Chain A
Amino acid sequence: MKPIATTRSATGIPTGRLAVWWLIASEIVIFGGLLASYVMHRIGHAEFGDYAAHTNTWAGAFNTLVLLTSSLSAVLAHEAAEKGQGPRAARMLLFTILGGAVFLIVKSFEWTAEIRAGYTLATNMFWSFYYTAAGLHALHVIAGMVAMAFVARDAFSNRELQRVELVGNYWHFVDIVWIFLFPLLYIAK
């Protein structure tokens, strides 16, 4: 028996997809609040520019490329799912998970270097924002990877292919958040 989320569409949108939009709308408020609060402090504190000079722009740019590429594979997974090609969709999702893993590995090297240089969560307000925003985003990346692994497992045997789109939509949102985090934390120096 199929879950209600896949068979009902009382609003004209399958309930599962509507739920993901709901999640994204609430995430906009969470990340939006954090980023807006960073922006107002950045404008009020000229010294943030000096602190931001210690972040690694190239690592941030590389991670942006990685996330954009993983979003592409999530779209290709969605296209494959639409054609009923479950195994191909699953492979594309695994590629997306790989992108998330590369993103986290780069982030961990970056953070290790920064903490060794003495920039920790408690150093000053800039680094508090930096670790909170990037950390919260990284948690979302991990959550997306875990969800995608479950969806990919089912997709391999052509089951619940509609979930490929849902998990992809979540991933694209995580990508959009990073698109704004990158210039805020790495470029505005």
Chain B
Amino acid sequence: MTSSPNETHEAGPPASGDEPRAREADPAEHAQAAEHAQAAEHAQAAEHAQAAEHAHAAEHAHANPVRVWAILCALLVVSVVGPMAEIRLLTLITAFGIAGVKAYLVAKHFLRLGVERRYVAYALVVSVAFMVLFFAGTAPDVMEHRGRLWTNHAAQKEVERALKEAARDGH
């Protein structure tokens, strides 16, 4: 007959001094301990898997920098060649639209904003929002030289003078 944990337990109550050893031998506790160990192992494995996943995600987020650089160079060529057609809309798209794309690529892949804590991006957006706010507040008085109740004579004269001078110089 093979011995079993039950048989050990049934062999009689242990002496009080042996209690800790008896506890070690307790099958219920054995099972619990095994369960704990298994749970800890599972948790560790899950942690490892998560870490591996994070590393994998980070690897994906960090695109090959040489490839990003090549794309940026191609965009640079487009932003120089596009405005040569001297079409206003095309200039706006190729020069300024592409500048936005280039800045996005540098921010995402070189500055690694994509894998940085989210609140950093929010802080930077707040800075840009301040700029937009100041622009919106002052631009109407600068971009226009005449309103319903006011005229910026100095600016008007300067534009007229400069345009005449440019026409005279052949620009």
Contact = CB atoms under 8 A, between A and B. Distances in A.
Contacts of A79: 65
7 contacts: A12-B117, A29-B127, A47-B162, A68-B73, A168-B110, A172-B106, A172-B111
Contacts of B103: 176, 179-180
Q: How large is the interface on B (under 10, 10 to 19, 20 to 34, 35 or more residues)?
A: 35 or more
Interface stretch (A38-46, A101-109, A129-137, A154-162): A38-46
Contacts of B126: 25
Interface string A146-185: 0000000000000000000000110011011001101100
Closest 4 CB pairs of A and B: A47-B162, A32-B131, A183-B95, A28-B127
A28 B128 CA distance: 7
**Chain A binding surface, main DSSP class:** helix
A44 B65 contact: no
A75 interface: yes
**Chain B binding surface, main DSSP class:** helix
Interface in A12-59: 12-13, 18, 21-22, 24-26, 28-29, 32-33, 36-37, 39-41, 43-47, 50-51, 53, 57
B69 A33 contact: no
A43 B140 CA distance: 11
A180 B73 contact: no
Interface residues of A, number: 52
B145 to A, nearest CB: 7
B127 A44 contact: no
Nearest to A44: B143
Nearest to A126: B162
Contact of B163 (A47, A124, A175): A47
Contacts of A75: 65, 109-110
B116 A13 contact: yes
Nearest to B145: A44
B1 interface: no
B79 A187 contact: yes
Contact of B162 (A22, A76, A124): A124
Nearest to B160: A47
B76 interface: yes
